[in-house]
């Protein structure tokens, strides 16, 4: 069975703080893909990153960075120097190699206070 | 800009009255998806089209149907909406199913209210 766990339901930080959103996944597939999406209050899911199971290289994009560790089945997302505009629900998602279905975690609501 | 468009953004219907939600895309993607997202929950896949091939999720109620008349458009039909069908409905597309092309791009959603 495939499963994504985002244990943090809500996180509140003050602007300019760094924050890490945790994601733990379960899958028996050897080939799989991991994603992060941002859902602001407007409702649209915004694609942030895709990582495949063969690429454990960490990635940095501006203030965003992702840490993929197969040994702990985790794909954590860090926002450096958070801003109010980062306030949103963030979803981690998993797709197995043989299926087109995205399995979403329950999401983490990030509130960045000015 | 290429995008996924959903109309209307807000839809109100009455219990049992059929309703159709619309999705269009200018990305020329092969795959289109419909998700249901209830309040404070994760999106849940209802079905998807790979070109003209329809793929229904096993737990999608028969009350939900879909049509894809051409590459650009996909419709979600709810034949007899119940109060439990009130949710945000998200349309998404991906270029293909292949590994290098499977990012899904989402529209802004249609929030359905059932009275």
Residue B101: what pLDDT?
56
pLDDT in tens, chain B (115 residues): 669 999 899 999 999 999 999 999 999 999 999 999 998 899 999 999 999 999 999 999 999 999 999 999 999 999 999 999 999 999 999 988 765 557 889 999 999 999 9
| Buried-state track A12-21, b at ≥16 Cβ within 10 A, e below 16 | ebeeeeebeb
Averaged pLDDT for residues A11-31: 95
Can you give the pLDDT at residue A26? 95
DSSP string, chain A: --EEE---SEEEEETT--EEE--EEE---SSEEEEEEEE-TT---EEEEEEETT----EEETTEEEEEEGGGTEEEEEESS--GGG-EEEEEEEEETT--PEEE---EEEEEE-
CB atoms within 10 A of CB B110: 22
pLDDT score for A71: 93
Higher per-residue confidence, A110 vs A58: A110
Q: Is A58 on the interface with B (CB under 8 A)?
A: no
Instruction: Give chain A's mean pLDDT.
Output: 92
Is the Cβ–Cβ distance between B111 and B9 less than 8 Å?
A: yes
Average pLDDT over residues A100-111: 92
Sign of CA dihedral A12, A16, A18, A22: positive
Strands A88-96 and A32-39 turn out to be: antiparallel
- In chain B, what is the greatest distance between 2 CA atoms, to the nearest angstrom? 43
Supply the mean pLDDT for chain B. 92
- pLDDT tens readout for residues A53-104: 988 888 888 999 999 999 999 999 999 999 999 999 999 999 987 777 889 9
Query: pLDDT value at position A75?
Result: 96
Confirm or reject contact between A96 and chain B (CB < 8 A): no
Element at B93 (helix H, strand E):
strand B87-94
Nearest to A75 by CA among A97, A91, A87, A88: A91
SS3 label, residue B83: helix
Q: Inter-chain contact A105–B42, Cβ cutoff 8 Å? A: yes
Average pLDDT over residues A20-33: 94
Cβ distance A92 to A36 under 8 Å? yes
Compute the average pLDDT of residues A17-46.
93
How many residues in total does chain A contain? 114
pLDDT of residue B98: 67
Residues of B in contact with A100 (CB under 8 A): 31, 48, 50, 55, 94, 97, 102
User: What pLDDT is attached to residue A99?
Assistant: 72
- Minimal C-alpha gap between B26 and chain A (Å): 17
Residues of A in contact with B44 (CB under 8 A): 104
Residues of chain B contacting A42 with CB distance shorter than 8 Å: 108
- Report how far Cα B58 is from the mean position of its chain's Cα atoms: 16
Give me the pLDDT at residue B103, please: 84
The predicted-structure confidence for B63-95, as pLDDT tens digits, reads as follows 999 999 999 999 999 999 999 999 999 999 998
DSSP B70: S
**Interface with chain B: mutation pick from A45, A50, A99, A109, highest number of B CBs within 10 Å:** A45
CB count in 10 Å sphere of residue A33: 19
Q: In DSSP terms, which residues pair with A89 in a beta bridge? A: A39, A109
Interface test with A, best of B32, B40, B103 (most A CBs within 10 A): B103
pLDDT of residue A43: 86
- Please give, rounded to a whole number of angstroms, the shortest distance from the CA of B44 to a CA of chain A: 8
In this structure, are residues B82 and B14 in contact, taking their beta carbons and an 8 Å threshold?
A: no
For position A91, what pLDDT does the model report?
Answer: 97
């Amino acid at each position: 069975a495939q499963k994504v766990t985002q244990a943090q339901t809500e996180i509140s930080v003050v602007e300019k703080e760094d924050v890490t959103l945790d994601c733990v996944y379960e899958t028996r597939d050897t080939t799989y893909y991991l994603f992060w999406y941002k859902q602001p209050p407007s409702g649209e899911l915004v694609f942030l990153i895709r990582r495949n199971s063969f690429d454990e290289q960490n990635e940095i994009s501006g203030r965003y960075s992702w840490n993929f560790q197969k040994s702990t089945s985790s794909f954590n997302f860090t926002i450096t120097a958070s801003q109010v505009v980062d306030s949103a629900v963030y979803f981690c998602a998993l797709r197995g190699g043989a299926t087109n279905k995205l399995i979403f975690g329950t999401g983490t609501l990030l509130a960045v206070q000015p | 800009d290429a995008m996924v468009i959903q109309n209307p953004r807000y839809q109100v219907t009455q219990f049992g009255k059929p309703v159709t939600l619309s999705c269009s895309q200018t990305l020329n993607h092969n795959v289109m998806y419909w998700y249901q997202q209830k309040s404070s929950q994760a999106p849940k896949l209802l079905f998807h089209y790979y070109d003209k091939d329809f793929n229904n999720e096993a737990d999608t109620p028969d009350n939900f149907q879909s049509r894809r008349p051409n590459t650009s458009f996909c419709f979600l039909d709810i034949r007899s909406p119940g109060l439990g069908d009130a949710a945000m409905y998200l349309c998404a597309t991906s270029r293909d199913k292949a590994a290098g092309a499977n990012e899904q791009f989402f529209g802004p959603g249609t929030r359905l209210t059932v009275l």
